[in-house]
Amino acid sequence: MWQLSRPKPALPNSYFWTWDHSTNWMLDDPGMLNNGCANQYLKRPDTYVEDYRRLTDLCAGLGIRGIFIWGFIRDSHGGIENSKKVASYAASKGVRILPGFGTTCYGGAYYEGDHPYNLETFVKNHPDARMLNEDGNIEPRGACASSPEYQDWLGKSIRWLFDEFEIGGVNIENGDFWVCHDRRCNKHKETWREGDPEFFRYQAMSYGPALEAVKDLHATKDFPWATYTGFLPTKGTHDNCIPYMQCERPALVDVLPEDVLCQWTITGMVLQQSLPLTAYLDDGAPDAAFDNPNWPRDLKPPTKRSIGFAHRPSQWSAQGRYVDGVSLIKEACLRSHRAGIEGVVIHGEVTSRNIPWALNYLAFSHFIHWPEDTIRDFGRKTLGQVLHSEDEGERFVEIFAHFDAKSLTDAHKDEARKMADELWQRVSAGHDLDRWRFWHWLSNVANGRTEPQTISEF
Ligand SMILES: [Zn+2]
C-alpha cells in the first residue's frame, strides 16, 4: 500500500464514506455486492475485518483522517467481536473509524441484530417509542424522538459505542427525510421556528440529545451530523442529494452545539457536469469552477464547522461506480476550502486495484492537502511518488487530462502505448507493478479500449 509523504492537510476532517456490504477490497468473497444501500451483509464475517484492514492501510498511507462505516455492527459479520477488530486495527494505525449512528432510523448503534442498542429491537420492545408516519401507521424501522424512553436509550446507545469500541467518533444520521407524526412530535412544532423544514426540525429532536450525551467528547472525537441537503439557501423539492436547504437558515443550526461538524451533501452543489480535467491542468482555480448557480462563488455554509460529502462517483451516480472522478474531487476540495469547510468526504468502497479509483484516492489525498494545486502538481507531487519520478507523474496526468477532456493527440496516444509496452517488458511481481498497471490502463483507454473488464482486473 502507498506511503506518501504529506504535509499538514488543508482539509483535515476528510473521510471515506462506506457501507459494509459493498466495501470490496478483498476480491474473492461470494457475497460481494456492488450496488444498493442498507443491504443485507452476505459476505463471510472475516471478510469484513479484511476489507477494512486494507482500507485502513490506504487511509494511513494517504493521510486520510478516517472512515465512516454504515453497518458497523451486525450479527451477520461477527457481531461486537469483529467490529472491535476493525476499530482497534484502525486506531493502531492512527485512522479514525466513525460508525454510522442512525438516531431515529438506520438501526441505531447496533445496525442489525437482536441487541438492546439495535433500533428495531428497541422499538419492538417499547411501544411508546414507535414512529408514526403521515397516515398514522407505525413505521417499524423508525423511532419517535419525543418518547422519554427513547431519549434515555439514545444517550445510552451513543455512550455505549465509545465504552465498547476504539472509535474516533460517530457519523450521525436520522433517516433521510423521515419525520414522526405522532401527537407529541406534532406538538413539538409549536416550540419551533415557523416555516422551518420539518426534516430539519426532526433532525434537531434527536441530534441534540445524542450530542448532549457525549458533550465531554466533542473536543477529542468527531461527530459529523448529516443534513442530507446542500447549503444553498432557497426552496427545493424533497429529494436526495439536493443542493437546497429549503429555507434561508435552518433553525437547528442555532440549536445544535457549534463545536461539532455538520455534514452537508455537496453532490448537488458541485458542477453537475465536471470541468474537463484540462481546465485544471495549469490552473488550480479556474473561473469556470466558480461559475455555478448551485454554489455561488462566495456562498459558505451557515454552520461554524462543516464538512462536505460528495456521493459521486458511486453506484448512485449516473456515471456509475467504476469511473474516475478526479475533476469532481479537485473541484470539491477547492470549493470547500474556499468556503471555510474543514473536510471533504467521498466513497471508499471500491478497491484501488481498479485504476480509476486508484486515481480517485490519490487525487483525494492530494487535494485535501493542497486544494489550490493544479493537476500538473498532482502529477508531480503525488503520482510522482507512485510512479517512477515527478516527471513521469506529470507525463501521466497530462495524457490523462486530455483523455478526460477528449482532446488526446496521436502523440499522447503513442506515448502512453510506448510507456505501457516498455514497462511490460520488465514488470515483475513487486517491481514496477503499480507503474505498469497505471500505464497499461492509460494506454488502453487512450487508445479507445474502454470495456471495463478488459482494462482493469476489477
Ligand atoms: Zn413522535
Domain, as residue range, for 438: 374-458
Please determine, for residue 240, whether its predicted confidence score (pLDDT) is greater than 70. Answer: no
Question: How close is the Cα of 239 to the center of ligand 1, in Å?
Answer: 22
Question: How close is the Cα of 148 to the center of ligand 1, in Å?
Answer: 10
CB 420 within 8 A of CB 436: yes
227, 111: one domain:
yes
347, 444: one domain:
no
Amino acid present at 382:
T
Please determine, for residue 367, whether its predicted confidence score (pLDDT) is greater than 90. Answer: yes
**Residue 433 is placed in which grid cell?**
507493478
**Residue 171 is placed in which grid cell?**
457519523
Amino acid present at 268:
G
265, 412: one domain:
no
Of 275, 304, 261, residue with least CA distance to 170: 261
- Residues 6 or more apart whose Cβ sits within 8 Å of residue 367: 11, 329, 330, 333, 334, 373, 378
Instruction: Report every protein residue that has its C-beta within 5 angstroms of ion ligand 1.
Output: 144, 146, 180, 182, 185
Which residue, of 372, 403, 431, is where some domain finishes? 372
Of 367, 385, 321, 373, residue with least CA distance to 347: 321
Q: Which residues in 10-160 belong to E strands, given as ranges?
A: 15-19, 66-70, 96-102, 130-132, 138-143
Question: How close is the Cα of 139 to the center of ligand 1, in Å?
Answer: 11
Which residue, of 357, 372, 387, is where some domain finishes? 372
Report yes or no on 228 lying in a domain: yes
Answer whether 0.75 is exceeded by the pTM. yes
Report yes or no on 69 lying in a domain: yes
380, 257: one domain:
no
Locus of grid cell 461559475 = 291
For the residues 123-138, what does the mean pLDDT come to?
Answer: 96
410, 305: one domain:
no
Report yes or no on 92 lying in a domain: yes
Amino acid present at 78:
G
Sign of the four-CA dihedral 55, 56, 58, 59: positive
251, 305: one domain:
yes
| pLDDT tens by residue, 48-100 | 999 999 999 999 999 999 999 999 999 999 999 999 999 999 999 999 999 99
C-alpha dihedral over 419, 425, 431, 435, to 10 degrees? 20
Provide the pLDDT for residue 241. 52
Residue 344, H or E segment: strand 344-347
Question: How close is the Cα of 183 to the center of ligand 1, in Å?
Answer: 7
Burial readout 93-123 (b: 16 or more C-beta within 10 A, e: otherwise): eebbbbbbbbbbbbbbbbbbbebebbbbbbb
**Residue 170 is placed in which grid cell?**
460517530
Please determine, for residue 452, whether its predicted confidence score (pLDDT) is greater than 80. Answer: no
381, 345: one domain:
no
Provide the pLDDT for residue 456. 72
Q: According to the per-residue pLDDT averaged within each range, which of 354-363, 424-433, 442-451 is highest?
A: 354-363
Provide the pLDDT for residue 380. 98
Question: How close is the Cα of 144 to the center of ligand 1, in Å?
Answer: 4
Question: How close is the Cα of 361 to the center of ligand 1, in Å?
Answer: 41
Give CA–CA dist 331/341, Å, rounded. Answer: 13
Amino acid present at 151:
Q
Question: How close is the Cα of 103 to the center of ligand 1, in Å?
Answer: 13
- The string of DSSP letters for 189-218 reads GGGS-TT--HHHHHHHHHHHHHHHHTGGGT
* Length of the chain as a residue count: 458
Averaged pLDDT of the chain = 95
Question: How close is the Cα of 48 to the center of ligand 1, in Å?
Answer: 35
| pLDDT tens by residue, 285-341 | 999 999 999 999 999 999 999 999 999 999 998 888 999 999 999 999 999 999 999
Residue 336, H or E segment: helix 326-338
Question: How close is the Cα of 153 to the center of ligand 1, in Å?
Answer: 15
Question: How close is the Cα of 115 to the center of ligand 1, in Å?
Answer: 22
Which residue, of 372, 394, 415, is where some domain finishes? 372
Report yes or no on 4 lying in a domain: no
379, 262: one domain:
no
Provide the pLDDT for residue 236. 61
Question: How close is the Cα of 156 to the center of ligand 1, in Å?
Answer: 19
Please determine, for residue 360, whether its predicted confidence score (pLDDT) is greater than 70. Answer: yes
Helices (H), 370-449: 375-377, 384-386, 390-404, 410-426, 433-446
Provide the pLDDT for residue 429. 87
C-alpha dihedral over 6, 8, 10, 11, to 10 degrees? 80
Question: How close is the Cα of 186 to the center of ligand 1, in Å?
Answer: 7
Give CA–CA dist 197/175, Å, rounded. Answer: 15
Report yes or no on 245 lying in a domain: yes
352, 395: one domain:
no
Question: How close is the Cα of 188 to the center of ligand 1, in Å?
Answer: 9
Question: How close is the Cα of 129 to the center of ligand 1, in Å?
Answer: 7
Question: How close is the Cα of 130 to the center of ligand 1, in Å?
Answer: 7
Report yes or no on 233 lying in a domain: yes
Report yes or no on 453 lying in a domain: yes
| pLDDT tens by residue, 164-207 | 999 999 999 999 889 999 999 999 999 999 999 999 999 999 99
343, 388: one domain:
no
142, 47: one domain:
yes
Question: How close is the Cα of 420 to the center of ligand 1, in Å?
Answer: 61
125, 158: one domain:
yes
Question: How close is the Cα of 142 to the center of ligand 1, in Å?
Answer: 10
Question: How close is the Cα of 184 to the center of ligand 1, in Å?
Answer: 6
Question: How close is the Cα of 190 to the center of ligand 1, in Å?
Answer: 14
Maximum separation of any 2 CA atoms in the chain, in Å: 74
Question: How close is the Cα of 123 to the center of ligand 1, in Å?
Answer: 12
Provide the pLDDT for residue 1. 85
Question: How close is the Cα of 179 to the center of ligand 1, in Å?
Answer: 8
Question: How close is the Cα of 128 to the center of ligand 1, in Å?
Answer: 9
Question: How close is the Cα of 165 to the center of ligand 1, in Å?
Answer: 30
Please determine, for residue 238, whether its predicted confidence score (pLDDT) is greater than 80. Answer: no
Phi then psi dihedrals of residue 10, to 5 deg? -75, -25
Report yes or no on 5 lying in a domain: no
Q: How many domains does the chain have?
A: 2
CATH code of the domain containing 290: 3.20.20.80
